[in-house]
Structure 1
């Protein structure tokens, strides 16, 4: 596995990987319905992707800085769930966050992913109320990265 910084021409593949996730089907599909990663987002945010030995995209994460540091997106392809790839991406994210001077990062979790983030050391600090695009409550967590 190789982890590298995303480039502008990765935008369509990142969006496709995200939208193919079984975790965001059915009731959860609405949050991604009109969302697409674009070149501006890739230039602005800290987006890193993992590829397998054949160069196939296996997962990615995105750190946003404004208004406060947040793990904005984290996806692993369905076929790689449970293989340790998510843990490896999360460890990489933690290292990048520390390198860019982030001491603490917010995670607004997809409810089914809460256990994963807790196992990685994040602490639940609250709940985000439903919104028009996310019609369910979402756990809010914080992670110390320094």
Structure 2
């Protein structure tokens, strides 16, 4: 049975491992992945700063999403993380998490959600109804630009 719940402190290690494995799925080399490790590490502070939801099947975490509300513009939010276990990609978990995030955004009064996407994940966000509005420099590799997408909730 598929179940979506809020992430808990005891999940941070699993979420970090899942984020790393999910990013590696796209074929990035070892040096690239090691450079990204810190950004892919989920901490208790992350759980406090954003709403994290995990999707489980048979009590196994298959993926997670995080929505952070912009405190200076409370009607805006940012998806800071969306990762699916490599073996679970294509099974509908991403869409289920996306829909849960949209519900959470509405509950918070968020009207616009932004995503700074990995280039490989951009087609997923477009299928979810987001549209590309620009690019932003990567926090790990400033010369690498990431798509910025927006969805009106």
SS in 2 for 1:15: helix
TM-score (norm 2): 0.85
Aligned residues: 144
How far does residue 66 in structure 1 lie from its aligned partner after superposition? 3.4
Is 1:69 matched with 2:70?
no
**1:102 matched to which residue of 2?**
110
1-side partners of 2:139 and 2:55: how far apart?
31
Task: Name whichever of 135-144 and 2-11 sits farther off.
Answer: 135-144
TM-score (norm 1): 0.89
CA, structure 1 residues 24+110, in 2 after alignment: closer, same or farther (shift >3 Å)? farther
1:66-109 deviation digits (Å, cap 9, x = unpaired): 36510010001111111111111111111111111100011111
Once superposed, what is the RMSD of the aligned Cα atoms?
1.9
Question: Which ranges in structure 2 are unaligned for 5 or more consecutive residues?
Answer: none
2-side partners of 1:84 and 1:134: how far apart?
32
CA, structure 1 residues 131+75, in 2 after alignment: closer, same or farther (shift >3 Å)? closer
CA, structure 1 residues 58+102, in 2 after alignment: closer, same or farther (shift >3 Å)? same
